[in-house]
Structure 1
Amino acid sequence: MQLLTNGYFYSLNKNNDIYKAILIDRDKIVDCFFNIPTISDVEQIDLHNKFIFPGFIDAHTHFVETGILSLGADLSLTNTVNDAIQLLKMTKPIDGIIIGYNFDQYNYDEKREFTYKELNSVSKTTPLFILRKDGHSCYLNEIAFNLLKLNPKTVGIITKNNKFCGILRGQANSIASKFFKSQIKNDGKIIAFYKAAELAINKGVTTVHAMLGDAKNDLSDLLLYENIKNELHIKIIPYPQVFDIEKVANLGYNLIGGCLLVDGSFGSHTAALMSSYADSPGNGVLYHSDSFWYNFFMNAEKKHIRVAVHSIGDRAILQILNAIEMAKQKHSKSNLQHIIIHFELTPDYILDKARELDVQLVMQPVFEYIWGGKGKMYEQVLGKERIMQTNRFRSILQRGLLVAGSSDAYVTPIDPLLGIYSAVNHPNPDEKISKLEALRMFTTNAAEVSGDENNLGKIDKEYIANLVVLAENPLATERIDKIKIEQVFINGMGLVLRGV
């Protein structure tokens, strides 16, 4: 047994109790003390007046992809197209592919995407795959494009003068992303699991919700995880990321999806909006029909399986809410709480409908930090009026909706402290939330989304001893994002943090 003492243990229970010591037996907290007790025959660990919170939970990650991409070229480290091209030229291929990630033209001096000539200058003999930061556009050189063998009628092949210009969006981007990921061998994916786990633990994360699958019918990543899960220090809550409800039910899971796409993203102009984008014609893409989603939710309800979908634009969110509503009318006794991931552009009537249907939300506060506010990407693509309706944390909580926090890694880094800081400092003052509310997004609320509210997300008796030790109190400092993580305990075991 271990007695962790001389710290400020923030329980985040209903009374918000703060303990001075806790007793751990193997992986469980067995007692909590308001004063430091005298107990013999236990290992005592002095935490030197640090601040201890439940281990953070990241409720939405592309986990394997995060690990794979971290081995490629991080283009957020560059400020110009030329610098990006030079970095890609120096990047070692992964299983024969040059990979770049975190590209966002809005952060570049030129404010533009790559030309086909620039992409081909990286290599004429090795396939080049660059994923845009939002994951909804990618950039290929000629050899990579030829490897894909896309049907010319595939939606999302961007052309100039009837010739491919190096950019894929929408359906074409999805095909390319799945293809190039499939080229990574299992040994590489296992390395990716460990790398992503290391990135998470170093940021105080003890549990991640991970989408494992190809968003069609391939669950090989999930099966690979099942083979190595006991070797990973971090707790992973797997989301079978396929459309095959029967297959998921037969495997014994009660949750499907995570990033089953209803629409795309704002930055790629593929998020489905009620009205046109502010900076270009069109109002985005709905990837499936109303009847498709109605039937999908109907089948999920029959199997008593919760569904988690990616839905960003107001038109896409309304499509999903309507499908859930119709399915529940057919299954009037259903108490399933389905999950909408992102839930970004939400006028009041959408918030009210979400409350009526008792959906759960998983959102990414860092999106506002990166893209929200005056002059940033949201304003450019949506206009000044609609940016007042993005990521409405205060309005959501006021309606009693459950919202959990996440990174959407690889889209943004796994970093709950930055997420908490972002929610507290929302650029729209009406949508800011308190520090405690933001902390709960990445602890108690995230645990409730996965049905783990009785064993994760709090420091209390009978809870798993997953803890993060912080150098400063996030409830008492303004620069929450700068707080140093001193230690992480997972299943009662203190882990050594490594620089990554």
Structure 2
Amino acid sequence: MSTFAVTGGPCATYDPSSGAWLRFDGFVVSDGRIASLDLREAGRDIPVVDLDGRALYPAFADCHVHLTDTGLFLGPYDFSAVRDAASYARQIAALPRGAFVVGGNYDESHWDDGGSASAAPIDAHHPDAIAMLARVDGHSCVLNRKALAFADLPPELPGIERDVDGTPTGRLFLEANWRAQSAILGALPAEAKRAADRRATQTALREGALHLHVQLVGLGSHDAYRAEIAALRDAGAAKWHPKICEREPAFARDLGLPYVGGDVFLDGSIGSGTAAVSEPYHDRDGCGHLMHGDDEVERYFADAEALGISAGVHAIGDRAIEQCIAAWERVLGGRPSPRNRHFIEHFEIATPAQIARCAHLGIFLSMQPQFDAYWGFPGGMYDVRLGAPRARTMNALASAKRAGATLVGGDDSPVCRLSPLDGMRAACAHHNADERLDVEDALLMYTYDAARFGHAEARTGRLAPGLAADFVVLDGDPIAQRTFEGVRVAQTWSDGTCVAELR
């Protein structure tokens, strides 16, 4: 149907001119775009999509997705439910045999026995495969002996764990982790990766995540990045925002992309003990690692600003966040960019002063509220790694909003479940009540402000005449209910076509 009306349930959209969410009874769609929010303009005898009492909102975005990894780590390859070393070994034993065995999402911070992931069961059950398991945050992994040999890592490379005899254990961190993951994932057959992309895309669409900001990390050559971006066209009916996670603004410009970066790592992760923090970790030595020098970061930002490309980095620890903000202050002269929307991914351990400086500079904060739901509760991994006082200040969503910063939401899938609604639920249920968002601000993170983050607000992100008919139909109405609890996605629509429906 090229023209039809949508009615029969409450509709809601953000109105930037008033700064409020508007409620209305339906709208008219023509040729994939919204023609009018006034049903009286529908005309006679046009088809009608009846919401049957369900609520309708703009389609959701997920502003930080690792698409191929999400698809690869589904089903038996998903180790997120493992709770001890014995079940870890049993799941490894049950994995299908093959030339490559790749799984992920294990998280020892949830294990009941205090154990840790090791290579021993991988070597025992898959000695002839190139086998690798990636930790839930992706910042460390475990390889069997054959995979270690395949990765062919230089012995002096940082991040190779060794036993007392100096023999590699198979556990990798830092640069060794990224080199090994890139080598092994890069060697997977192309069809296996494309099938994983299709599985992940269908998962996203069923969760209402139409707009996907895909992090493309460690692909090496420009041709490999071009091929990966081209492959997204065949992954499914999502709307794609590919992020080249390299310090190459000129390459992004040549590809016609308005942004670059994302997972350009200034530091590591809290779970792997590699996030760069100013005070030592509580459960291990050291303060993590900065992965680039100040001059490198400043040069990357200056190149992006000069070319009109919005640039981003991964910064979790306060020391990495400080390196980022200080570089932007030097490049921008302490003022917001007049044309770009620069951004920081994760922004977990930020001080109030750092939040205020980001708001002043107009830096977009791409954050993952589910991190708090997974690890921020009392006694959780953040408490263990960093101590309760520091953990209480983390993922400071409401503080950033009060300071005037723009927040956008993602799930860092497969780190967290690819579900914007889960992200919104987590944003409204932060373990620190002072950092909870209200329902409307949580929705903004995944709709209109996410569209601005993608330089797409002139095309989508809200419901208004002339914009794409991109929307989700929900069982449950979060604004009316004042909660996301019990809300689920029933349908996802793109350009006036239903692309996913839950029966």
Scaled by the length of structure 2, what TM-score is found?
A: 0.94
- 1:112 and 2:115 matched: yes
The 1-side partners of 2:419 and 2:331 are apart by 36
Find 1:102's aligned residue among 91, 94, 105: 105
CA contact (8 A) 1:271 1:313 kept: yes
Alignment of 1:350-369 (within 5 A): 350-369=354-373
Unaligned stretches of 5+ residues in structure 2: none
The 1-side partners of 2:181 and 2:462 are apart by 37
Match of 1:60 in 2: 64
The Cα of 1:237 is off from its aligned counterpart by 1.1
The 2-side partners of 1:202 and 1:114 are apart by 32
The Cα of 1:10 is off from its aligned counterpart by 0.7
The DSSP-based 3-state class of the residue aligned with 2:357 is helix
Match of 1:173 in 2: 177
TM-aligned CA distance change 1:116 to 1:184, over 3 Å: closer
More deviation, 256-265/38-47: 38-47
Deviations 1:310-350 (A, max 9, x none): 10000000001111111123999754231100000011111
The DSSP-based 3-state class of the residue aligned with 2:261 is strand
One-letter amino acid of the structure 2 residue matched with residue 116 of structure 1? A
Match of 1:388 in 2: 392
More deviation, 62-71/477-486: 477-486
The 2-side partners of 1:118 and 1:194 are apart by 30
One-letter amino acid of the structure 2 residue matched with residue 106 of structure 1? S
Match of 2:230 in 1: 226
One-letter amino acid of the structure 2 residue matched with residue 407 of structure 1? D
TM-aligned CA distance change 1:297 to 1:265, over 3 Å: same
The 2-side partners of 1:157 and 1:485 are apart by 43
Find 1:265's aligned residue among 266, 269, 274: 269
Alignment of 1:88-237 (within 5 A): 88-93=92-97, 96-161=99-164, 162-214=166-218, 216-218=220-222, 220-226=224-230, 229=233, 232-237=236-241
The DSSP-based 3-state class of the residue aligned with 2:247 is coil
RMSD: 2.1
Find 1:253's aligned residue among 251, 257, 269: 257
Match of 1:24 in 2: 29
The 2-side partners of 1:183 and 1:69 are apart by 16
State the identity as a percent: 26
The 1-side partners of 2:146 and 2:104 are apart by 19
Deviations 1:419-466 (A, max 9, x none): 111000000111111011111111111111112222222122122111
The DSSP-based 3-state class of the residue aligned with 1:278 is coil
Find 2:430's aligned residue among 426, 432, 447: 426
CA contact (8 A) 2:471 2:494 kept: yes
CA contact (8 A) 1:6 1:36 kept: no
One-letter amino acid of the structure 2 residue matched with residue 3 of structure 1? A
The Cα of 1:64 is off from its aligned counterpart by 2.3
The Cα of 1:119 is off from its aligned counterpart by 3.0
Unaligned stretches of 5+ residues in structure 1: none
Aligned residue pairs, count: 497
The 2-side partners of 1:329 and 1:72 are apart by 51
Deviations 1:110-165 (A, max 9, x none): 22212332332221111220000011010111111111111111000011211211
Find 2:300's aligned residue among 296, 307, 310: 296
The 1-side partners of 2:275 and 2:150 are apart by 28
The 2-side partners of 1:227 and 1:179 are apart by 19
The 1-side partners of 2:215 and 2:178 are apart by 15
TM-aligned CA distance change 1:351 to 1:302, over 3 Å: same
The DSSP-based 3-state class of the residue aligned with 1:49 is coil
Scaled by the length of structure 1, what TM-score is found?
A: 0.94
More deviation, 360-369/466-475: 466-475
CA contact (8 A) 1:215 1:257 kept: no
TM-aligned CA distance change 1:495 to 1:299, over 3 Å: closer
The DSSP-based 3-state class of the residue aligned with 2:21 is coil
TM-aligned CA distance change 1:222 to 1:411, over 3 Å: farther
TM-aligned CA distance change 1:362 to 1:296, over 3 Å: same
The 2-side partners of 1:252 and 1:132 are apart by 33
The Cα of 1:373 is off from its aligned counterpart by 1.9
The DSSP-based 3-state class of the residue aligned with 1:17 is strand
One-letter amino acid of the structure 2 residue matched with residue 145 of structure 1? L
CA contact (8 A) 1:209 1:238 kept: yes
The 1-side partners of 2:88 and 2:235 are apart by 36
Match of 2:9 in 1: 7
The DSSP-based 3-state class of the residue aligned with 1:274 is coil
The DSSP-based 3-state class of the residue aligned with 1:242 is coil
